[in-house]
């Protein structure tokens, strides 16, 4: 391989490699590749296994014939999911909570992060301190519950969306992003042109901040999709339950309610299907976040880099 055809960065590395790849280094690299490969397999195996089991014949799964690939392919388990009313409605609720929660939380985070990123705003340190302090100390479970209760939010969709709307950690990362990408000169230039803070934020800052907005939306949406504890304590109305609460009932507590089946002729198969329902439910519960995160993945390392700068 001629070094001349490579881009400059790789070229340097390639030249370096030709100097230094001793036998010990080659062994070390081989070990690193093998270890990483094995670790990736260990992460993937449970996911692939559950996916395979969810589309396999129930008896084959029970008999332990499924190791990696589906045996006796069937989609019965997914049909059973669509027949189970609570799962369908809670799936809808979860989508609602994820979308609405992510929008509310991202708007709040941007509104908090931008002013706090501006140099020379009187009282900025104090406000920032008020935000950061909540990371180290909080009122705890019961007092928070009492606040939600007093606001009359119990058993409403707001109880899921509002109490966890803002994560201070995201505010800090977003603020640092603004400090790095919106130079003070740009703010001054905007002022000279008679741009108010509102219109500067709307017309200059937001268009420059698409990556951080995407990361915020993703984190909040995934957080809402995956959370179950708020629903557990704030909701008793089953029609408002998110998917995770129903998953917990069926997967972990093994509570399957026959009255939830629309087609009663299927009741007899229920016992057999229950085991299989577990696999397909796990798949349904984990697929949406797994489909979304790769699109934002490229921003993660950059985001962490920005977040680690002290501001």
Beta bridge partners of 286: none
Which one of 1, 4, 5, 19 is in contact with another protein (CB under 8 A)? Answer: 19
Residue placing its CB nearer to another protein in the complex, 70 or 163: 163
Give the number of other Cβ atoms within 10 Å of residue 232's Cβ.
14
Residue placing its CB nearer to another protein in the complex, 42 or 263: 42
Verify binding: residue 202, another protein, rule CB under 8 A. no
Verify binding: residue 228, another protein, rule CB under 8 A. yes
Q: How far apart are CB 178 and another protein at their closest, in Å?
A: 12
Looking at residues 22 to 51 of the shown chain, list those that interact with another protein (rule: CB under 8 A). 22, 24-25, 28-29, 32-33, 35-37, 39-40, 42-44, 46-47, 49-50
Which one of 154, 213, 274, 289 is in contact with another protein (CB under 8 A)? Answer: 289
Residue placing its CB nearer to another protein in the complex, 4 or 122: 122
Binding mask 230-259 toward another protein (x if CB under 8 A, else -) reads ---x----------x--xx--xx-------
Give the number of other Cβ atoms within 10 Å of residue 94's Cβ.
25
Residue placing its CB nearer to another protein in the complex, 195 or 263: 195
Only one residue has tokens 């985001």, namely 303
Verify binding: residue 127, another protein, rule CB under 8 A. yes
Residue placing its CB nearer to another protein in the complex, 16 or 264: 16
Residue placing its CB nearer to another protein in the complex, 20 or 259: 20
What is the 3-class SS of the chain, one letter each residue? CCHHHCCHHHHHHHHHHHHHCCHHHHHHHHHHHHHHHHHHHHHHHHHHHHHHHHCCCHHHHHCCCCCCCCCCCCCHHHHHHHHEHHHHHHHHHHHHHHHHHHHHHHHHHHHHHHHHHCCCCCCHHHHHHHHHHHHHCCCCHHHHHHHHHHCCCCCCCHHHHCCCCCCHHHHHHHHHHHHHHCCHHHHHHHHHCCCCHHHHHHHHHHHHCHHHHHHHHHHHHHHHHHCCHHHHHHCCCHHHCCHHHHHHHHHHCCCCCHHHECCHHHHHHHHHHHHHHHHHHHHHHHHHHHHHHHHHHHHHHHHHHHHHCCC
Residue placing its CB nearer to another protein in the complex, 196 or 262: 196
Only one residue has tokens 């609602």, namely 96
Return the axis-axis angle of helices 85-117 and 124-136, rounded to nearest 10°. Answer: 140
Beta bridge partners of 261: 84
Residue placing its CB nearer to another protein in the complex, 53 or 240: 53
Which one of 165, 172, 217, 240 is in contact with another protein (CB under 8 A)? Answer: 165
Q: How far apart are CB 25 and another protein at their closest, in Å?
A: 4
Which one of 1, 193, 198, 268 is in contact with another protein (CB under 8 A)? Answer: 198
Looking at residues 62 to 91 of the shown chain, list those that interact with another protein (rule: CB under 8 A). 62, 64, 67
Which one of 152, 229, 258, 311 is in contact with another protein (CB under 8 A)? Answer: 229
Q: How far apart are CB 289 and another protein at their closest, in Å?
A: 4
Q: How far apart are CB 260 and another protein at their closest, in Å?
A: 18
Sequence-separated (6 or more) residues with CB below 8 Å from residue 293: 218, 222
Question: Which span sits near another protein by CB under 8 A: 84-92, 193-201, 206-214, 263-271?
Answer: 193-201
Which one of 75, 121, 180, 208 is in contact with another protein (CB under 8 A)? Answer: 121
């Amino acid at each position: 391989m001629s070094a001349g055809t490579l881009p400059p960065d790789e070229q340097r590395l390639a030249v370096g490699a030709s100097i230094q790849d001793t036998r010990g280094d080659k062994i070390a690299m081989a070990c690193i590749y093998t270890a990483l490969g094995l670790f990736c397999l260990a992460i993937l195996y449970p996911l692939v296994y559950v996916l395979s089991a969810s589309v396999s014949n129930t008896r084959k799964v029970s008999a332990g014939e499924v190791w990696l690939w589906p045996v006796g392919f069937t989609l019965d388990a997914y049909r059973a999911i669509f027949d189970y009313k609570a799962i369908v409605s809670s799936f809808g609720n979860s989508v609602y909570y994820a979308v609405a929660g992510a929008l509310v939380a991202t708007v709040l985070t941007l509104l908090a992060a931008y002013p706090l990123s501006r140099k020379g705003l009187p009282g900025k340190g104090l406000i920032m301190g008020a935000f950061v302090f909540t990371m180290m100390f909080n009122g705890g479970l019961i007092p928070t519950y009492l606040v939600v209760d007093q606001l009359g939010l119990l058993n409403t969709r707001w109880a899921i969306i509002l109490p966890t709307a803002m994560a201070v950690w995201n505010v800090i990362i977003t603020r640092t992003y603004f400090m790095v990408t919106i130079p003070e000169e740009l703010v001054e230039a905007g002022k000279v042109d008679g741009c108010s803070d509102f219109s500067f934020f709307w017309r200059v800052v937001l268009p420059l901040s698409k990556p951080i907005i995407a990361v915020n939306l993703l984190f909040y949406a995934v957080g809402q999709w995956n959370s179950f504890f708020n629903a557990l304590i704030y909701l008793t109305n089953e029609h408002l339950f998110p998917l995770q609460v129903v998953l917990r009932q069926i997967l972990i507590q093994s509570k399957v309610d026959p009255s939830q089946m629309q087609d009663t002729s299927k009741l007899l198969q229920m016992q057999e299907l229950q085991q299989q329902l577990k696999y397909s439910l796990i798949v349904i519960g984990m697929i949406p976040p797994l489909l979304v995160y790769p699109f934002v993945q490229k921003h993660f390392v950059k985001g962490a880099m920005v977040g680690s700068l002290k501001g």
